[in-house]
Every structure is written in C-alpha cells, then in structure tokens.
Structure 1
Amino acid sequence: MTSAFLFALGLCLASVLVTGDEEPCCPFGWTKFGSRCFNFNYNSKIWADAERTCISFGGNLASVHSLEELNLLKAWMNRVTSHLAQTWIGGHDAVKEGVWLWSDGSSLNFTQWAHGQPNNSGDEDCVEILCERKLKHIRRSREQLTGNRHTAQREQK
C-alpha cells in the first residue's frame, strides 16, 4: 500500500441494473465483468481525486469481494496497461483508523491480500492493486465497471 498522496492511476466499478428481459450492457468504453462494468482511467491521481472522478461517471472506485474478481481485474488491468501498474481501488479506512470499507459503502470482507496488508504503512488510508505495472485508477459506475490509475464501476442500464 502507498500513501494517499502518491499520484496513481485508478479503476472505477459499476454494478449492473437489470430491468425486465433486457440484456444488461455497459456504457461505451466500459468493460463488463459479471454484473458490473469497469473503466480504467489512465490519468494519475491521488485516491480522493480518483474517487471523485469515478463519482462523476456515476460510480465509485472498484470494490473486490472475491479472489475470482481480484484475478479478473488484475488480468484485465495487465492487458489494458501492458506495463507495471499500481492501481487505486475503493478500499479505505478514512472514516475510522483500522476499519476498512469500500467507497461504494459495502464492507471490505475480502481478506486475501498480500501478507500483512492492508497495513497503514506511512499512515495511508487507501487500497491499491499492484499488477506489476505503473499507478492508475479503475472507475465503478452504476451501470458497469471500469483503479493508482483508477477503475470505475457502475450499474448497467
């Protein structure tokens, strides 16, 4: 984990909203994984700015709830970045030190992190994925999903 002051890339994530018999779809430029859509943002940002970017797209930084999701995200991020990357995701303990949550409000119940992580080293309050590449973010949108760069996630419409 690194300090929230490090510039990074991010991943935004979105949950899928299914209505009737329609096949859920993601917004243009977003990638569907299961019931969520992801978008990878190549602009380096601090964690809080990455989360605000995801919110502006109707989502949050990505949340991870299983090893399968983590492996899918890491494989996808390795494909879209083609270089070493640390990527912001939505985990944080900014509300109460040592109590980790996802920025989308869900509990951080996934525990298969690297040994001793998250560890609050350097008084950090944020979670990142190290994919042996550089920092971006993944957006989470309410339509589907897109982390030190960041990945956004959002609901499908």
Structure 2
Amino acid sequence: MRVLTLSVLACVLVTLLGAEGFHGNDIYNCQPGYSLASNNVPHCYKLIQEKMGWTDALNYCQKEGGTLAAAHSINEYQLLLSMVKKTQDISAYAWVGLNDLDEEGKYVWTDGSNADFSWADGAIEQQYGEEDCVALNSYKGAEGFDDIKCNDGCTFICMTMAKMPRMEEDTSTPLI
C-alpha cells in the first residue's frame, strides 16, 4: 500500500510541475529586485539606472553576489535588450559583462567565456586601445553590442544565478 501511495504522489507531483520540471518560474527564486529571465534560463537580472563606469558597475554587481550580465543565447540577448529599451529615456546604453581588457580584439564575458554576438552597426570601427568595454545599445536601427570607453557613464544590468528554494519536509500529514 505504501508503494502505491508513493507512486500516486509521484504522479501528482509530475502533473503539477508539468513538462518543464524544475525549470519553471514557480521553482526558481531571485533575490529582491531581480527578475527571472525565463523558464529556460536560470538567471536573474536587474537593471541599475544609476550611471557609472564599467569597472564600478562590475564591482556593484559583484557586491550583490553576481556579475555584469552575459548573453549566451538569443533569448538572453533579447531579454537584455528589452530591459534597456524600457529605460531608454535615461540611457540607450547599458553595460554588460563583455570586454577586451586583457587582449585587444578578443572579447570575453566576465565569467571567462568567449563572446559570440553581433556588433551594432558602426561598432566595428573601433578605436583600438580606447574602447575595451561593451554596452548594449538600444537605439532603433543600431541595436546590439557596442564597444565604448570603460569610463563612460552608463546604466548597467547585473546578473545572478537563480536559486531553487529548499523543499521543507511536511510532517503534518503522515504518508500511509
């Protein structure tokens, strides 16, 4: 009887969670002020509307337990772009965690992974040695990543990993 009860309980859990399993918005949690990216991307994002240089922005995000945002998929890129567009009246540029500070022309994310992205129109005409940090440009017609001077003041997007809440044992109703 206990095996049957556990089997029924497992079936109910699978049905309630749906095909997405533990990747749904009801499962992942973000710290206050951050928003979950999507069911498929377990990252939390927060647009900071205060303008500062890239290094200060990175330090700010790290103090909150994260880093500057990265876009490793088209879904993440589109999410970041939509966030920047919502505050375009403040700034059309927002820092992301992409730079070529270590090696000119070799762009990497702050998590150490290589970049694979599309530049904004005109961004390829780089001022080598002077534009080492990357911001997401939300100007219509020039949307994309753009390398600019690291000390320019921009808004920025912090990213943290989403957390799964701890499942607490319910002792109020014993299993039969």
What TM-score do the two structures reach when normalised by structure 2? 0.62
- Tell me, yes or no, if the aligned pair for 2:47 and 2:83 is still in contact at 8 Å: no
The within-5 A match list for 1:48-59 is 48-59=55-66
The within-5 A match list for 1:112-131 is 112-115=118-121, 117=123, 119-121=125-127, 123-131=130-138
Kindly report the root-mean-square deviation, in angstroms, between the aligned alpha carbons of the 2 structures.
2.4
Alpha-carbon distance in structure 2 between the residues aligned to 1:61 and 1:106: 13
The one-letter amino acid of 2:94's match is T
Structure 2 equivalent of residue 88 of structure 1? 95
Structure with the higher fraction of residues in helix conformation: 2
Shift of 1:82: 5.1
Shift of 1:54: 0.6
Q: Does 1:71 align with 2:78?
A: yes
Q: Could you say which structure has the larger radius of gyration?
A: 2
Structure 2 equivalent of residue 44 of structure 1? 51
Structure with the higher fraction of residues in strand conformation: 1
Alpha-carbon distance in structure 2 between the residues aligned to 1:40 and 1:86: 11
Structure 2 equivalent of residue 28 of structure 1? 32
Question: Percent sequence identity over matched residues?
Answer: 29
Alpha-carbon distance in structure 2 between the residues aligned to 1:151 and 1:44: 11
What is the DSSP-based 3-state SS (H/G/I as helix, E as strand, rest coil) of the residue aligned with 1:42?
Answer: strand
Alpha-carbon distance in structure 2 between the residues aligned to 1:120 and 1:82: 24
Shift of 1:121: 2.2
- Tell me, yes or no, if the aligned pair for 1:91 and 1:103 is still in contact at 8 Å: yes
Shift of 1:74: 1.2
- 1:82-117, Cα deviation, whole Å (9 max, x unpaired): 5252111111000111111001222212x2222454
Q: Does 1:97 align with 2:101?
A: no
- Tell me, yes or no, if the aligned pair for 1:90 and 1:127 is still in contact at 8 Å: yes
How many aligned residue pairs are there?
A: 122
What TM-score do the two structures reach when normalised by structure 1? 0.68
What is the DSSP-based 3-state SS (H/G/I as helix, E as strand, rest coil) of the residue aligned with 1:108?
Answer: coil
Structure 2 equivalent of residue 139 of structure 1? none
The one-letter amino acid of 1:102's match is W
- Tell me, yes or no, if the aligned pair for 1:61 and 1:104 is still in contact at 8 Å: no
The one-letter amino acid of 1:54's match is C
Shift of 1:78: 2.0
